[in-house]
């Protein structure tokens, strides 16, 4: 039985027969129409062939007779999709047919076959088109980590390889607005010229760069500024000490103050014209404070949802005046779906849910209301050293299949950076690419299980199995041992440092388990990390620059999993245990804590180096402050005692 060649995404139809095609130096690449526009594609394909199999092929205006050809033919192959393509490989020729975008994706598929099979390509017929016409990634660049432009180009390259056609960069304050200097200071935000360059690069790669900007809630930095703090729903929040949790939960605009909508107007007019996209994502999610501060009395009269919808419609009107279509998050309005009929009919509602056990209820509700929706699963990497890979797999596959069932218009996989963006994009790749695969073909058999998906994706990133070790499976095993996360340590730190007592529930993760539980996890992690280092040593030299960096980051973050569990154990011993005073006097335990502090500091030094390789300095200092404070506690655990 002939084995399926293993493509990500999996094509809608394929047929494999005996035989193979070998590329030789006499092979000619040609294209029949619009040669100038597609010249770069031919050069890229030639370079891929040379880099992967060491053969220099010829680019020609016409195919050769009685020779081997790779021919691109621009023609319609599926009336309902301009992204459809056909790829036929026989013993003598490779023929790709499709419209402009279809040809591009056909080349991407051929590239995957070359990377996987080198110079023994299978004889195969592929007829392919996407299930969803909109297949996107959203990346958080506002909560601590702002990528450099060069790194954003790499993200575009990778996204296009897996047939993603939409990219959104989530922004609250990390854009250099022209109308303010106060907000811009110290943020390392993107500049207008960065957006223009990235937008052009995205267009070359068949990706729509959609402006994505918070316009209602999640405006912490803006509403803490002297210039705009009077526009916050709560008067006292702007004057409180910095707190990651409050940055997540609060700082919503006062929706009845006319200056609020003028601020939003200025933000949009500064930002949106830099993009070619006909869509603007105004976000509008998690406006938890609405009607609880300055507008409490009014909310009691008309309802908080009424206030929300009225302001949302004002923001939508600004976008419509700019000739753009509106996209927004639907988490607030889904609680009162009767308000959906008040919104313009062409708005796009983003149906997000990050629960591994997500149900189809909301997707059905939006469909029944006649709303255009994107389903938005998540990589579940926020607040973690490594993503919850098993949870993300369940979330992404389920929500996308619900989207297919209820005719969603698109998919947008989200990668957030709550509490400083300590998580790295490299550890979210398998979730992002899973979303790309599923949004192209929700019936992809590679995605029937997490293991089969790992086996399918690994070769296409250069991470081939070594001695039965699979990189993504190893990372999943390590992630599953992560009992203590960044959220738990961060909340404990803010409680004991600033006298905050609001995070008690998070402390249970540290306080309740037996010490033997932590010791057992540490032993298991030590064994898994040894295997991971062994894998890295075997594969590292074979990788390109980007994949080397990603692997180095992933291995480094895996080490943080162990450090966090160990720190959690020390906090339990010194802070939560009834006999904490005896622990303070235990010389062996104190030496263990001091050694752990040194290990953590060494880890932090390398982390800062990895951060700066692909990102601006931005808010790295906030992570450093918490990590070094934890190290200070390990050296001087007597500074805090359980109240």
DSSP per-residue letters across 563-604: HHHHHHHHHIIIIISTTHHHHHT-HHHHHHHHHHHHHHHHHH
Q: Helix, strand, coil: what percent of the chain each, to 5? A: 50, 15, 35
| 294: nearest Cα among 370, 237, 366 | 237
Q: Report the DSSP beta bridge partners of residue 392.
A: none
Q: Tokens 């702007």 appear where?
A: 238
Q: Report the DSSP beta bridge partners of residue 121.
A: 21
Radius of gyration of the chain (CA): 26
Give the CA distances from residue 243 to residues 249, 491, 581, 622, in Å, rounded to whole numbers and listed in that order.
10, 10, 30, 10
Strand residues in 61-218 grouped as ranges (E): 69-74, 85-89, 93-98, 121-128, 134-140, 166-170, 208-210
Tokens matching residue 224:
């803490």
DSSP state at residue 637 = G
| 219: nearest Cα among 256, 158, 172 | 172
Q: How many CA atoms lie within 13 A of 472 on its CB side?
A: 27
Q: How many CB atoms are closer than 10 A to CB 313?
A: 15
DSSP state at residue 82 = T
Q: Could you tell me the maximum CA-CA distance found in the chain, to the nearest angstrom?
A: 87
CA–CA separation, 422 and 550 (whole Å) = 15
Q: How many CB atoms are closer than 10 A to CB 252?
A: 30
CB 136 within 8 A of CB 164: yes
CA–CA separation, 476 and 165 (whole Å) = 28
Concerning whether 286 is annotated as a catalytic residue, the answer is yes
Which one from 52, 154, 286, 511 is the annotated catalytic residue? 286
Phi, psi of 428 (to 5 degrees): -100, 0
| 372: nearest Cα among 173, 132, 166 | 132
348-352 and 372-376 strand pairing: parallel
| 9: nearest Cα among 521, 601, 456, 518 | 456
CB 78 within 8 A of CB 84: yes
Peptide bond into 136 cis (omega under 30): no
Helices (H) then strands (E): counts for the chain = 21, 15
- Dihedral sign, CA of 320, 322, 324, 329? negative
Active site residues: 286
């Amino acid at each position: 039985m002939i084995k399926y060649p293993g493509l990500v995404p999996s094509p809608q139809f394929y047929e494999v027969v005996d035989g193979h095609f070998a590329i030789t130096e006499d092979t000619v690449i040609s294209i029949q129409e619009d040669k100038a526009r597609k010249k770069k594609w031919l050069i890229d394909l030639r370079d891929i062939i040379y880099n992967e199999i060491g053969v220099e092929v010829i680019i020609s205006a016409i195919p050769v007779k009685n020779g081997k050809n790779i021919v691109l033919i621009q023609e319609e192959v599926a009336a309902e999709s301009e992204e459809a393509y056909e790829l036929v490989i026989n013993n003598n020729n490779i023929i790709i047919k499709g419209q402009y975008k279809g040809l591009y994706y056909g080349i991407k598929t051929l590239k995957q076959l070359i990377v996987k099979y080198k110079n023994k390509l299978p004889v195969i017929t592929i007829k392919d088109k996407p299930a969803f016409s909109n297949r996107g990634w959203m990346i958080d660049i506002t909560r601590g980590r702002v990528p450099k432009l060069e790194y954003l180009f790499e993200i575009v390259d990778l996204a296009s390889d897996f047939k993603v056609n939409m990219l959104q960069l989530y922004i609250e304050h990390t854009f250099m607005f022209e109308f303010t200097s106060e907000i811009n200071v110290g943020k390392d935000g993107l500049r207008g010229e960065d957006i223009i360059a990235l937008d052009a690069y995205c267009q070359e790669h068949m990706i729509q760069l959609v402006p994505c900007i918070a316009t209602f809630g999640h405006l912490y930095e803006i509403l803490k500024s002297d210039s705009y703090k009077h526009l916050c729903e709560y008067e006292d929040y702007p004057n409180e000490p910095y707190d990651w949790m409050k940055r997540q939960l609060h700082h919503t605009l006062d929706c009845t103050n006319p200056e609020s909508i003028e601020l939003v107007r200025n933000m949009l007019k500064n930002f949106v014209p830099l993009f070619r996209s006909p869509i603007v994502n105004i976000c509008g999610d998690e406006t938890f404070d609405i009607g609880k501060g300055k507008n409490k009395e009014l909310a009691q009269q008309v309802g908080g949802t009424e206030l929300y919808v009225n302001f949302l419609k004002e923001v939508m009107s600004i976008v419509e005046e700019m000739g753009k279509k509106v996209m927004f998050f639907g988490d607030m309005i889904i609680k009162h779906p009767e308000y959906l009929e008040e919104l313009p009919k062409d708005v796009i509602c983003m149906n997000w849910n990050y629960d591994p056990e997500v149900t189809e209820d909301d997707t059905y509700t939006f469909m029944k209301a006649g709303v255009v929706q994107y389903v938005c699963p998540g990589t579940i990497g926020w607040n973690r050293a490594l993503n919850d890979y098993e949870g993300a797999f369940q979330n992404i596959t389920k929500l996308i299949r619900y989207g297919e069932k209820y005719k969603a218009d698109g998919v947008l996989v989200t990668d957030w950076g709550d509490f400083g963006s300590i998580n790295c994009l490299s550890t979210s790749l398998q979730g992002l690419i899973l979303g790309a695969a599923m949004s192209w073909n929700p019936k992809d058999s590679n995605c029937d299980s997490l293991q089969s998906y790992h086996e399918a994706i690994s070769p296409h990133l250069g991470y081939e199995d070594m001695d039965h070790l699979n990189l993504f499976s190893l990372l999943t095993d390590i992630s599953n041992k992560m009992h203590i996360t960044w959220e738990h340590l961060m909340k404990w730190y803010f409680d004991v440092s600033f006298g905050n007592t609001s995070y008690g529930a998070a402390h249970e993760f540290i306080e309740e388990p037996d010490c033997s539980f932590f010791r057992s996890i540490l032993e298991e992690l030590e064994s898994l990390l040894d295997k991971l280092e062994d894998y890295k040593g075997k594969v590292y030299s074979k990788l390109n620059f980007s994949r080397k960096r990603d692997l180095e980051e992933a291995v480094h973050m895996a080490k943080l999993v162990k450090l966090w569990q160990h720190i959690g154990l020390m906090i339990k011993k010194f802070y939560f245990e009834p006999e904490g005073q005896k622990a303070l006097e235990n010389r062996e335990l104190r030496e263990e804590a001091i050694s752990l502090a040194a290990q953590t500091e060494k880890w932090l030094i390398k982390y800062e180096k990895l951060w700066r390789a692909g990102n601006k300095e931005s808010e790295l200092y906030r992570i450093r402050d918490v990590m070094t404070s934890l190290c200070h506690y390990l050296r001087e655990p007597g500074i805090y005692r359980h109240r």
